[in-house]
Amino acid sequence: MAHKAHCSIRNSKDVQNILTLVFALSILGLIFDSIIFSVIALFSVYIALVKFEWAAVLGDQFVTIVSRIGGYIYTTILVVVFYIFITPYVLVVRMFKKREIHTDTCFENAQVHVFDKEYFKKPW
């Protein structure tokens, strides 16, 4: 029991640290307009909370339940972040951003023209 309580406290601190880090990353992501950065940061919460920390603390029999709850929490966080934090940001950005008007073409130069070997190795 004592061990579990200790782990919970430690876990709780870790969670706080992780959340702080993630919050900072999300803000940075927003500032630099990097969606991927924000999403990766958010996803790391899920990994940290559910897959490693909680699972280790609570034992195998709880993993399934915790994973499920974690999934819901994660989705909720994602939704909350997107629709409470990001929406106002997007709306503000939109106010200052001029709508792109294509006058004579919607074609743009291809993002990648020539394909070197490194190109094939990345999933992005």
Residues that bind another protein (CB under 8 A): 35-36, 39, 43, 46, 71, 74-75, 78-79, 82-83, 86-87, 90-91, 102, 104-115, 117, 119-124
Q: Which tokens hold the place of 15?
A: 């969670």
- CA–CA separation, 27 and 14 (whole Å): 20
Tokens 């029991």, located at residue = 1
- CA-nearest of 44, 61, 48 to 15 is 48
Q: How far is the CB of 20 from another protein (least distance, A)?
A: 22
Other Cβ atoms within 10 Å of 67 Cβ, number: 16
> Of 7 and 63, which CB lies nearer to another protein in the complex structure?
63
Q: How far is the CB of 89 from another protein (least distance, A)?
A: 9
> Of 61 and 109, which CB lies nearer to another protein in the complex structure?
109
Q: Which tokens hold the place of 83?
A: 């629709």
> Of 60 and 100, which CB lies nearer to another protein in the complex structure?
100
> Of 13 and 52, which CB lies nearer to another protein in the complex structure?
52
- CA–CA separation, 70 and 66 (whole Å): 6
